[in-house]
Amino acid sequence: MSTFATLLNQWETRSRAAQERVETTLTLYRHDLVKIKAFAEIYGLDEQTITEGLLHAAIHEAESAIPYIKGEQVIRTEEGDEIFADVGKTPAYVEAEQRIHTTD
């Protein structure tokens, strides 16, 4: 790939990422802000980038940690195995996320 094609690809990726970003205000514990500032200092990045990265990683981990709770209703069969509906928080979370995404 040419140098210019690589550069243009990087710009396009950054442009798409910038369009997905929104600004919000949040309140932090003082000791957490100190840690964010320390990360920013040692990595040579701004505090917003550090906070964004940490929050993104925390949300991903939180989503993964929502437990699957097996219901009684079979929703499909895969390779001969019955797949049961999740009666835990995941379906409500996914529904809320989709609803909020379409209204924002």
Local confidence band at 1 (pLDDT 50, 70, 90 cut-offs)? low
Residue range 78-91, pLDDT digits in tens: 999 999 999 999 99
Cβ 46 vs Cβ 28: under 8 Å = no
What DSSP element (H or E) covers 86? strand 81-86
Is the pLDDT at 95 greater than 80? The verdict is yes
Instruction: Output the pTM of the full model.
Output: 0.74
pLDDT > 70: percent of the chain: 99
